[in-house]
Amino acid sequence: MPTSALTTISKRRVLSSSEIARQRLVRFAEICQREIGSVLPSIWAEQLADIPPEKLNLACDRLEKTWRSGFLPTIGDVRAQLDDAESKAFDLAAENEWQRLLAWIRENYFPDTGIRRGAPRLAPAVEHAARAAGGFHFLEGCTQSQLVWCRKTFLAAYRNVHETGQVENLLGDGQAKQILARFKAGPREEPKPLPAVEIVSERPSREEIRESLKRAIEEKSQPVQEDTEEDLAARWARQKHALLERAAELGLGAKSQPDVFATRE
């Protein structure tokens, strides 16, 4: 590519919407063979500055191809091209949602059991428009002639919720059921706070540790005291007396019972 062409490309810049509006007004004046005053270009630049440059160029191109009047077009004529394009795009999106709804009903709704478990959720606006068109049960079993009117009702309801801004406040069936379940369950009890635990950060001193170890060693090293002969004799005497009393309660003579403590005496 020649150096001059590269220089020309580098010098190009993207025009702003205000500049495009002024240039397009001059083109329309040439097409309509009309004179433009000194104030009109500023008005066009101000009133069309909020439109992105790409969209403004497309709108003006579309208007140039269809303009038949000998008068200059107005700012409203330019904006009408954008509104028509956005409306057509919305209509196409709404038609796609209608076709997707019919496919969803065929795959996920059954007259006897209703919506199958695990079916993907529809958008709240689609659910609202489907109810306005008769509901899933009616749409699943209606005739082709009825389906034509259902489609018109669906598209009208779908457009209405978007144009009025109600789409942000709509709830799907799943969300509505969750909210209703929370209302039925009543207020949820707040968890009780756990009691505060006092954390002792101070460590015992070396002297305290040494004293504790010393006491443990001394207690372990103390000899275990054994029972004396007198203690053993007294214990066996008490056990013998208790046994004889029990034998008397059972009706057993003392003579018929062997003296199990004879060896101890």
Band (188; pLDDT cuts 50, 70, 90):
low
Q: 232-242: string of b/e by CB count within 10 Å (b at 16+)? A: eeeeeeeebee
Share the mean pLDDT of the chain. 79
Band (9; pLDDT cuts 50, 70, 90):
very low
Task: Name the residue with tokens 């490309």.
Answer: 9
* Residue 264: pLDDT over 70: no
What's the pLDDT score for residue 168? 56
At residue 43's C-alpha, the angle toward residues 42 and 49, to 5°, is 90
Task: Name the residue with tokens 């207020």.
Answer: 187
What's the pLDDT score for residue 2? 52
Which residue would you say has higher pLDDT here, 146 or 5? 146
Give the distance from CA 139 to its chain's centroid. Answer: 30
DSSP label at residue 9: H
Phi, psi of 226 (to 5 degrees): -90, 155
pLDDT tens figures, 63-79: 999 899 889 999 999 99
At residue 223's C-alpha, the angle toward residues 221 and 228, to 5°, is 175
Q: What is the mean pLDDT of residues 226-235?
A: 77
Taking alpha carbons only, the member of 177, 179, 178, 157 closest to residue 166 is 157
pLDDT tens figures, 145-171: 999 999 999 999 998 888 887 655 565
Q: What is the mean pLDDT of residues 182-210?
A: 63
Most confident of 15-19, 85-89, 179-183: 15-19
At residue 194's C-alpha, the angle toward residues 192 and 197, to 5°, is 165
pLDDT tens figures, 91-142: 888 999 999 999 999 999 999 999 999 999 999 999 999 999 999 999 999 9
What's the pLDDT score for residue 252? 67
* Residue 38: pLDDT over 80: yes
* Residue 179: pLDDT over 50: no
